[in-house]
């Protein structure tokens, strides 16, 4: 099989996005648009990939971060034809076909690309372009054919006549070309059009004029080749991608109670028989085990959750890990660096940060656990606070196995509680507590009988 080279166009500003960010860095499914295209193109195992950058080039380069691509700079964005021509040097010695893709068409599938390349080779074409027939073709370049249906040329919407604008067959901006034909023909492209740009699709008309064979392939599902030029299109595309990802997980045995309000990013993994309730967002590299139950309103980013975990209503969790069988929530916040061992229970209004919590331990109500290591089968009473910050530095708290921390206790770090320690209710612990010891604060409790009535009477007198 002949080699394939890829030219990915990502130099444009994307004026219609009305953004400080280059268009290709806007995200769907949590990932910049051009990375969707790049990852799909890489599935074809191309011999060479060139990305044409220009507007905010450094930011685009930075967003990729990987190796194995050639960056081509298009100093001034003079049009898509000019952009491809900028990559000429990178392919001067390249023997294979060149696949040209736009960075703003993120849902293009590997299958579609393979179909286009196969057709190009079957037809022995100089150029093959992908087309779609759209109910609403506005915004796209139109395909012009003669009365026999033979391809003549393309016309951009801004240059099209009223009649041409009624044509529903459009170019979706994906092409396969013979390298030599491509660069030679591009040099003949002029910018005498409404936008004063060098249009890549102009090589269609020029090629036909020279008697070269130009083929077209119609894309099976036009939604996959939608380009993004506006925020509205971005939102629509996000929805299409979401539906596609959600379907994939439902097909794989995950229950989504309300797919319309379930947002699963591309890098997420979910085990079978997990049930996910409404308003759930699973982001980044999140991994969820089998038979988990996420009741709803959950926002999880870069987390790892073992099998049979239950997240009750409203859990926010970032860069943390939960081992099998744990129960979290409702209304819990697990911040980065938190690890919950097997069967841990974290209840309502509990916040944990960099907290290592051992198997079977429970912290069920109104608690802050920050920079703490807790052993097994410990019970953290309601209203316990690890005071990890003194206004200058952060300190660690260590709590052993089977410790009983009474409600309303404050543990002033750095501090350590040994195994089987017992913290009486409402204790401020400032010193380390040995294993098995009781710790409490001396505090006399006094009861004054009749105090309330006396007080009320006094208040009445002063009021009058
Ligand atoms: C382009 C096509 C149009 C097609 C549509 C499909 C042209 C002239 N028009 O229009 O026929 O129907 O895509 O989505 O090709 N870019 C550069 N350098 C530039 C200009 C653009 O790298 O100088 C990049 C952009 O970053 C973008 C891509 O090329 O990734 C397409 O540019 P865009 O402005 O979105 O073209 P469309 O108007 O959508
Ligand atoms: Mg576009």
- Can you tell me the distance from the alpha carbon of 305 to that of 279, in angstroms, rounded to the nearest whole number? 18
Residue 329 and residue 299 in contact, taking contact as beta carbons nearer than 8 Å: no
Distance CA 308, CA 205 (A): 61
Nearest to 237 by CA among 249, 219, 250, 224: 224
CA of 104 from ligand 2 middle (Å) equals 6
Residues serving a catalytic function are 365
pLDDT band for position 462 (50/70/90)?
low
pLDDT in tens, 153-179: 999 999 999 999 999 999 999 999 999
- Ligand 2 centroid to residue 202 C-alpha, Å: 16
* 271 Cβ inside 6 Å of ligand 1: no
Residues 246-267: pLDDT tens digits? 999 999 999 999 999 999 998 9
32 pocket-lining for ligand 1 (C-beta < 6 Å)? no
**Tens-place pLDDT, residues 78-107:** 999 999 999 999 999 999 999 999 999 999
> Which tens digit of pLDDT belongs to each residue from 127-140?
999 999 999 999 99
Judge contact between 399 and 375, C-beta under 8 A. Answer: yes
Question: How does residue 317 score in pLDDT terms, banded at 50, 70 and 90?
Answer: very high
CA distance 240 to 35: 17
| Residue 148 CA to ligand 2 centre (angstroms) | 30
Instruction: Please give the pLDDT value at position 66.
Output: 82
C-beta 140 within 6 A of ligand 1: yes
Condensed to tens digits (0 to 9), the pLDDT of residues 304-315 reads 999 999 999 999
Ligand 1 within 6 A of 5 CB? no
Give dist(CA 41, CA 457) in Å, integer: 84
Q: Which ligand is nearest to the CA of 202?
A: 1
Looking at the CA of 84, name the nearest ligand. 1
- What fold characterizes domain 4-225? Spore Coat Polysaccharide Biosynthesis Protein SpsA; Chain A (3.90.550)
Closest atom of ligand 1 to 23 CA is: 26
Give the number of whichever ligand sits closest to the CA of residue 171: 1
Residue 463 has pLDDT above 90, yes or no: no
Residue 261: predicted pLDDT: 97
Residue ranges per structural domain of the chain: 4-225, 231-439
pLDDT reading at 1 higher than 70? no
- CATH second-level architecture of 231-439? 3 Solenoid (2.160)
Residue 460: band (very low, low, confident or very high) from pLDDT cuts 50, 70, 90: confident
Residues 378/405, Cβ–Cβ less than 8 Å = yes
Asked if residue 381 has its Cβ within 6 Å of ligand 1, the reply is no
The two domains 4-225 and 231-439 share their CATH topology (first three levels equal): no
Which H or E element spans position 407?
none
């Amino acid at each position: 099989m002949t080699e394939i080279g890829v030219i990915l166009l990502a130099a444009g500003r994307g004026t219609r996005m009305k953004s400080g960010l280059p268009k290709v860095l806007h995200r769907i499914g949590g990932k910049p648009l051009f990375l969707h295209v790049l990852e799909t193109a890489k599935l074809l195992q191309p011999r060479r990939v060139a990305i044409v950058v220009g507007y905010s080039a450094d930011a685009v380069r930075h967003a990729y971060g990987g190796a194995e691509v050639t960056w081509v700079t298009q100093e001034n964005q003079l049009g898509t034809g000019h952009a491809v021509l900028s990559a000429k040097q990178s392919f001067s010695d390249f023997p294979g076909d060149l696949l040209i893709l736009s960075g703003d068409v993120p849902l293009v599938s590997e299958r579609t690309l393979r179909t286009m390349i196969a057709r190009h080779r079957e037809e022995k074409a100089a150029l093959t372009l992908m087309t779609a027939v759209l109910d609403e073709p506005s915004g796209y370049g139109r395909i012009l054919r003669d009365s026999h249906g033979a391809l003549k040329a393309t016309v951009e919407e801004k240059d099209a006549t009223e009649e041409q604008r009624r044509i529903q067959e459009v170019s979706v901006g994906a092409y396969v070309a013979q390298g030599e034909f491509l660069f030679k023909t591009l040099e003949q492209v002029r910018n005498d059009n409404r936008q004063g740009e060098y249009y890549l699709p102009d090589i269609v008309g020029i090629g036909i004029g020279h008697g070269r064979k130009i083929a077209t392939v119609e894309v099976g599902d036009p939604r996959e080749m939608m380009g993004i030029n506006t925020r509205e299109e971005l939102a629509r595309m996000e929805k299409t991608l979401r539906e596609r990802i959600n379907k994939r997980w439902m097909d794989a045995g995950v229950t989504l109670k309300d797919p319309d309000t379930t947002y699963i990013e591309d890098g997420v993994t979910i085990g079978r028989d997990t049930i996910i309730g409404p308003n759930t967002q699973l982001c980044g590299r999140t991994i969820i085990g089998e038979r988990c139950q996420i009741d709803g309103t959950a926002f999880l980013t870069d987390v790892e959750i073992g099998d049979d975990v239950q997240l009750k209503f409203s859990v926010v969790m970032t860069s943390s890990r939960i081992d099998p069988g744990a129960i979290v929530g409702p209304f819990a916040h697990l911040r980065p660096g938190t690890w919950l061992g097997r069967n841990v229970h974290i209840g309502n209004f509990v916040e944990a940060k960099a907290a290592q919590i051992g198997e079977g331990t429970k912290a069920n109500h109104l608690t802050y656990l920050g920079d703490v290591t807790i052993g097994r089968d410990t019970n953290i009473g309601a209203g316990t606070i690890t005071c990890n910050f003194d206004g200058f530095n952060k300190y660690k708290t260590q709590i052993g196995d089977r410790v009983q921390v009474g409600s309303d206790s404050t543990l002033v770090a750095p501090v350590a509680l040994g195994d089987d320690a017992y913290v009486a209710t409402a204790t401020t612990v400032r010193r380390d507590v040995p294993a098995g010891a009781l710790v409490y604060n001396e505090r006399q409790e006094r009861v004054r009988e009749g105090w309330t009535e006396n007080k009320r009477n006094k208040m009445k007198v002063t009021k009058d």
